Structure 1
């Protein structure tokens, strides 16, 4: 599980609430998230604002920073967050471990697409499929503005297919699935894709054979093929290159590694939306 540090800018709050937040954030590191509190001038380095919406002074201070520079995603803490708009994230008082961490999770997912539970493992990481953060990620993926990019994920593991669907959905990519090489080749005849994520070990024809079939088809000449495998051997990489794969990912695959491959293989105008539709 990867670990990323988010800077938090505090606006308002009593000394007691600040001590509670400091204690809660220490617990977050064990969940693949690290937070660093910033106050005063240090707020310029923050990634997320935590705002005391019940304090007029804190609101004025926060609103001044919005006028001075680019707005930060904000977690609003207030007596009644039900008055917020659907695109705003808030939690109610009193501040508890569950409320604060779930609120920060929602911000990290919506604005930074960060869910460390979404690590693609060779066993599919099935225990992650029931997590709160994963459920939030699935909801967020459904609301992300579509980029127009289409991907085909070929893997015989249902958990891997589900996790890959959420991961790619967070980047605005539409995803289809196939559990076998034969089904993948049928999909490729019926639909147009920009990129294929292809497991090396499949029932029936394996990933190398599927990749070779793709490269023999002139209609699929520009298709990017990313080979997924649980084995990081030099021989497998050579076989993948000979089969014509565009890139090679070894499980476990974290979000940052997947994002790197997407940035590498997909032109920026594709990955960031060449014909967008309304979304979240």
Structure 2
């Protein structure tokens, strides 16, 4: 995993390199920041992002990958942060937690990069033109949530779309894996918190299947944090949808998803 850094004194950069070498997985590599090919995570020295003008041009969705490093805690609680001075165990533990390694959720970097490159242009768009049944076939959708009320709420939203939608349901990650083994889906809604396999682990397992590497997976969560978003990215999810469902936000997400599906069908 490539880790970029901005604003670090040279002696602290050297220290980071030494810390990364201590990782048992030897999976962290400190790299020079390249804004044309952003690293997996970005460490920023200090809590004042305005001190680094280059950061102002980063895509909004990349902010969940920024980790602020400094004494105390940043005023902006939306960013993950590391305490200073740097302590080896604390740095590695924080990075392991952010990449969900403690739950043994691996990812294929090539797949993650491919997904982000394919999805990023849609993440920046406003609400797309409405989908019409005249130019699309029926979508096959899997809703994975252990809450039947949530299942029905999503189904009700999907049935309001101006195109045919066939919906299947799964109440657990294990049941979802059975469904994807038996049926083909155009996109999948996946709850984060479930008994047994949670959403992150289920997403990781789905992405291991060649036929699911390009399928949009929308994580369902009651709230998002930078940590959750990094976990979602590392497990391979395409985007988030917060609960309870808000009609306008759902329409915005579903129109992005329909564009992803169309894009993949052309590939």
TM-score by length of 2: 0.45
TM-score by length of 1: 0.43
